[in-house]
Amino acid sequence: MPIWDTGSPWPCGSKKFFHGTGMPEQLTIGLLDQQTKGWSAGASFTRILLKSLELCNEKADDVILLTTEAHGRYATRYPIVQIPPQPTALQWLKLRKTHGIDVVLPVRTFCAEWCPLPKIGWIPDLQHKCLKHFFSEREIQWRDRLNLHFIEACEAILFSSNAAKNEFDHYHPAHKSPGTPCSFASVIWSEPLASEPQLTVKKYHLPGDYILVPNQFWKHKNHGILPAALEMMARNSPDTPMLVLTGLLADGRDPTNKHLSDLLQEIASRGLAAKIQILGHVPYSDLVNLIRQSSAILQPSLCEGWSTTIEDAKALGVPLICSDLPVHREQAPQAAGFFDPADAQSLAEVLHAAWPKVKGSWASRKEAPALEQARGRCRQYGMQLRKMSVDAIKNAGDTNSWRRSLPRVARQLVGNQFSWLQKVAGSVRRRSGAPRC
C-alpha cells in the first residue's frame, strides 16, 4: 500500500484528503516565493503561479505561499507564511503538521535536500552550459550540482519548455530527466487595464511609434547588439524606429556594470542617443502601458527558458521580433521575424523588413481576444502544476524514493542534536573554567 494512502502524517499525504483510489480529492500546495534580490522577474513568476493555481482551483485546493520575507507584495486570497531561507527537516515537518502541506513547489535551491515532503524541482534553463563564458567555473559546477541534485532529491522536475528539457538531456546524457515541460503564461489579464495608456508614452516623452525591449540588463539579454543593428538599418532606410529599453539596470555577474557602460558608450559613439532611450526599471503599470502602446516587442536574448517578455506581448496582441532560438520558435512561432542573435546585420535586415508592417499596429490592436487566450493558457498551466503535484505525491509513496531521502534527513537531525550538545558542553566549560579540549 502506498504511503500516501495510509493516512500517515509522515512523510507525505493527508488522511482527510487521500482515499483508496490513490487520487487526491484536495491538495495543500506549499508554493515557494521566487522573489530574489537582483532578479526582477522572480516576484512576477510568483504572481503567475498564484493566479494560475487560482484559475484551475475547481477542487478547492489550498495554497500556502512560503516566503522568506514578511511583506504584502502579493494580492492573493491564499495565506502567506514566512519561512527561513534554508528550512531544516524539523522545520519542514512542522510546516507539514501546522498547515497540512502535501507538496512543495517550485524548488530552485538545495533546500530540497532537507525537505522530507514531496517536492517539484524547477530547471528554467541551461544558460550556464550554453553561455559558459558568462560564468565562473565555480558557478558552472554549482549549477550543475544543483540540477543533478533535483533529479535525485525531487519527486518531479518542472522544465519551462521543451527546449529547456532537450538542452538538459543534451548536456547531461547520463542523467536524462523524466521531467515535464510546463510553460507559464502572462497574468496581465488579471488586473484592469488603464483607459489611457498613451499618457505613459507622454510621461516619458516618447514618440507615437517605437519598439520596446523590456528586459533586465543581464549580459545574456544581448542589449549590446542593438546599436550596431540600428545603425546598419539606418544606412538603408530613412525611417528607423526608436528603441525603448526598460528593465532593472543590474547584473550580479557584473558588479561594476561594465556591460551597461559599454552599451551607453556604443549608443553615444554611433550617434544614436535620439534613437535608443533607456528608461531602466519602471513601475509595473507603466510597463504594461508601454507594451500596449508599442509597435512591437523586440526580444534579442542569447538564451531563454521561457520568456515573460514574449508572454506579455502575446497577452496583449503585440507583434514580436525574436532572436532565433529553439525556445523562441516554440513560444512565438508567429513572430514578425527571427534573427541570428550573434549577428547585428541579421537583426538590421529583420528590422528593415518588419518595421513597415508593425509600425502603428497599436492603433488597431484587438486586446480582448488576446487577453482571454492568455487567461486560458494560465488555467492550463495551473492544471499542469496540479497534475505534477499529484504525480509527485505518488512518487513519494514509492518506498525506495523515500529511503533515498531518509539518510540525508537523518544526518541533519543527528547534526542538529550534536550541535545542541556542543553548545551545552561549551556553556558548562565556561561556567566551570575547564580548558577547551
Q: What whole-number distance in Å separates Cα of residue 147 and Cα of residue 59?
A: 32
CA distances from 191 to 212, 245, 311, 337, 353 (A): 21, 24, 16, 30, 35
Q: How many residues does the chain have?
A: 437
pLDDT at 72: 57
Q: Which of 401, 432, 429, 390 is nearest to 103 (CA)?
A: 390
Contacts of 53 (CB under 8 A, 6+ apart): 29, 31, 61, 63, 382, 385, 386
Q: Which of 223, 214, 221 is nearest to 282 (CA)?
A: 214
Whole-prediction pTM value?
0.84
Q: Which of 215, 228, 239, 274 is nearest to 359 (CA)?
A: 239
Asked, colleague to colleague, whether 3-186 and 202-366 share their fold, the answer is yes
Q: Which fold has domain 202-366?
A: Rossmann fold (3.40.50)
pLDDT at 11: 42
Contacts of 371 (CB under 8 A, 6+ apart): 188, 189, 315, 316
Domain positions in the chain: 3-186, 202-366, 406-437
pLDDT at 325: 97
pLDDT at 314: 98
Q: Which phi and psi angles does 269 have, rounded to 5°?
A: -70, -25
Contact criterion met (CB below 8 Å) for 139 and 195: no
Residue tagged 532565433 (cell numbers)? 324
C-alpha cell at 314: 502575446
Q: What whole-number distance in Å separates Cα of residue 407 and Cα of residue 397?
A: 17
Q: What whole-number distance in Å separates Cα of residue 40 and Cα of residue 17?
A: 37
Q: Which of 33, 30, 92 is nearest to 63 (CA)?
A: 30
Contact criterion met (CB below 8 Å) for 132 and 108: no
Q: Which of 334, 329, 337, 332 is nearest to 353 (CA)?
A: 337
Q: What whole-number distance in Å separates Cα of residue 153 and Cα of residue 115?
A: 9
Q: Which fold has domain 3-186?
A: Rossmann fold (3.40.50)
Residue tagged 540600428 (cell numbers)? 230
Cα 158 to chain centroid distance, Å, stands at 11
Q: What whole-number distance in Å separates Cα of residue 341 and Cα of residue 338?
A: 9
Across the chain, which has 437 residues, the per-10-residue mean pLDDT values are 34 44 72 78 87 81 84 77 88 91 89 82 93 94 91 90 94 81 95 95 97 96 97 93 95 89 97 97 96 98 95 97 98 97 98 96 93 97 93 74 50 48 50 47
